[in-house]
Structure 1
Amino acid sequence: MNDDTIDVSVRRSPKYSAFIILGVILGMIAGGILSFLPVDMAGVETEVTQASATWMLMVFLGAIGGFLGAIVALILDRISLRRARTYTVPAAHDPAPAEDETEVSSRETPADPEAGETEAAEEPSEPRRAGETDVRE
């Protein structure tokens, strides 16, 4: 590797939140469908309504679906690490400011306007865009 180039690894990584949300939605859909299957309730001592059974299944299977979605995202992330490509690109160097420039810019402007302006106050702190003007009093 040369001083003027750097190695960069490029890969596609999954968005974990999208996989988790999709898993929750699919789990809730599965819970809604499963709640309408006929079940023999003769051995159950507690009275459970259809609505409460649907809600419990949707929440339970939604949580399981979220965990499964996260696991799928982790697996896809590990696969993408193996398929990552490495490229050599030219390095962009930003020169560090000299010590004199950092001291001048860190000083505050004098409180007395008659005392005069420093060199740092004469130059704009940010580069101007096209069409912008520098207004001073």
Structure 2
Amino acid sequence: MNGQKLSICGVDDPDGFDPVYAEASAFSSWQDELESCQKTTNPSIYSILLSHRPELIEEYTNSGFDLVLAGHAHGGQIRIPGVLNGLYAPDQGFFPKYAGGQYQLGETTMIVSCGLSLKKGIPRIFNPPELVVIDLEPIQ
């Protein structure tokens, strides 16, 4: 970015990730990965975290990352533009808070992609596949 540094780090989303995060050994491993990524952040360098799960935003908030890129919610499967941002999302249930879009918590911005999945048997109503393009501009 015009000679400015950029830091990108990611955490895994292991198969079988238990929805009851606090009781799952996978969550402990995931937290270790997040802490390892946090050690790479520097307040003077714009930092991006790649993490599949938007419902863990409390873990990302003020963690040293300026931007978190997530997915997993499939846009809430069924949307009604201007009325309903999503009917159901994995690990968030009905009327998910983080189905797709941009969210701001503290110093952390999170962008949740609705994704590209077109699996048979899983409807996408008013919820077309989405590939998010983000323009990052250098500080002047």
TM-score range, shorter chain: under 0.3
Q: TM-score, normalised by structure 2?
A: 0.19
Task: Answer 1 or 2: which has greater helix percent.
Answer: 1
Please say which structure displays the higher CA radius of gyration: 1
